[in-house]
């Protein structure tokens, strides 16, 4: 990596642990006012101290996040469809100039391997990797899973490896059985997991714990944090797992201090 890219990348990763807790709040780009993000600024503010980076769109950033906030931004630059339509039909919606203007530490788009828009979304990734390489901005590739795709190591390994081959500097995918195989397929490219739909807090923390054990460098979680009944406690619990090698039982104490 060139110096500028290395420098931006190092802003996202926690210097002590070498891992990363990314808070994802980009859901509105296709889901509209997602539960918990109706007033995005109010939700994000108490969570930011526990996050290494914030994954967000440019519109949400400019509307709800104060510019003196000092956490690195992972800027979603793709979109163009809603939950009412074919989700894979994404385009690049934000120019590299605007990403630079925003001072993005990384840019990100989704890739829909196996969908009717597979080629176009792989093309989107290749385009932003070219732009990122030109200006020293790392690219996080998100393996988006269509309704008909099975979230297993075979499929996710295929999708992640394609992202790596296209030049992604970091990959975000889902946790599944055989996750080590996915990490292995990505070589030196770090892998983070998405949380997915809201599940019970203990199960979400177990998923984060298992992902770290299996070689992920962190999480890029959204709904399992901001839709929890204790978002700050959940964020702190995730942080303990990712940065402090905490067990699930120990991390649960942050979510619910009375937990056994
Ligand atoms: C949507 C995304 C989201 O940021 C991602 O799904 C993370 O959020 P969650 O933990 O709620 O799944 O990339 O494509």
Ligand 1 atom nearest the C-alpha of 76 is 13
Instruction: Give residue 256's pLDDT band: very low, low, confident or very high (50, 70, 90).
Output: confident
Ligand 1 near 28 CB (within 6 A): no
Pairing of strands 78-79, 53-57: unpaired
Which residues are paired to 109 by β-bridges?
A: 141
Distance 164 CA to ligand 1 centre (A): 19
Domains of the chain: 3-202+215-223 (3.20.20.70)
- Tens digits of per-residue pLDDT, 200-251? 999 999 999 999 999 999 999 999 999 999 999 999 999 999 999 999 999 9
Distance 222 CA to ligand 1 centre (A): 6
Check: CB of residue 163 under 8 Å from CB of residue 188. no
Distance 162 CA to ligand 1 centre (A): 19
In three-state form (DSSP H/G/I as H, E/B as E, the rest C), the secondary structure along 122-169 is: HHHHHHHHHHHHHHCCCEEEEECCCCCCCCCHHHHHHHHHHHHHCCCC
172, 53, 141: which is closest to 103 by C-alpha?
A: 53
Ligand 1 near 123 CB (within 6 A): no
Average pLDDT over the chain, rounded to an integer: 96
pTM for this entry: 0.96
Ligand 1 near 227 CB (within 6 A): no
- Tens digits of per-residue pLDDT, 54-94? 999 999 999 999 999 999 999 999 999 999 999 999 999 99
Active site residues: 172
Burial class (CB in 10 A: 0-12, 13-18, 19+), 188: exposed
Out of 20, 47, 57, 194, mutate this one to test ligand 1's pocket (max ligand atoms within 8 Å of CB): namely 194
Check: CB of residue 97 under 8 Å from CB of residue 67. no
């Amino acid at each position: 990596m060139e110096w500028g890219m290395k420098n931006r990348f190092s802003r996202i990763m926690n210097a002590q642990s070498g891992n990363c807790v990314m808070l994802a709040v980009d859901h509105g780009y296709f889901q509209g006012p997602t539960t918990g993000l109706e007033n995005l600024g109010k939700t994000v503010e108490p969570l930011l101290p526990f996050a290494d980076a914030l994954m967000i769109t440019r519109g949400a950033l400019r509307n709800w996040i104060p510019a003196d906030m000092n956490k690195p931004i992972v800027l979603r630059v793709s979109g163009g469809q809603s939950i009412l339509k074919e989700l894979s039909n994404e385009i690049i919606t934000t120019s590299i100039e605007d990403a630079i203007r925003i001072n993005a530490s990384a840019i990100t788009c989704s890739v829909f391997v196996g969908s009717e828009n597979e080629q176009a979304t792989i093309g989107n990734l290749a385009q932003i990797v070219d732009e990122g390489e030109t200006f020293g901005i790392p690219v996080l590739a998100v393996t988006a899973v269509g309704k008909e795709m099975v979230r297993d190591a075979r499929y996710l390994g295929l999708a992640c490896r394609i992202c790596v081959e296209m030049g992604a500097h970091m990959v975000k995918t889902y946790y599944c059985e055989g996750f080590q195989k996915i990490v292995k397929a990505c070589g030196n490219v770090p892998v983070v997991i998405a949380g997915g739909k809201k599940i019970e807090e203990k199960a979400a923390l177990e998923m984060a714990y298992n992902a770290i054990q299996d070689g992920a460098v962190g999480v890029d979680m959204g709904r399992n944090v901001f839709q929890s009944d204790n978002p700050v406690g959940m964020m702190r619990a995730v942080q303990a797992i990712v940065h402090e090698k905490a067990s699930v039982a120990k991390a649960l104490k942050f979510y619910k201090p009375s937990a056994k």
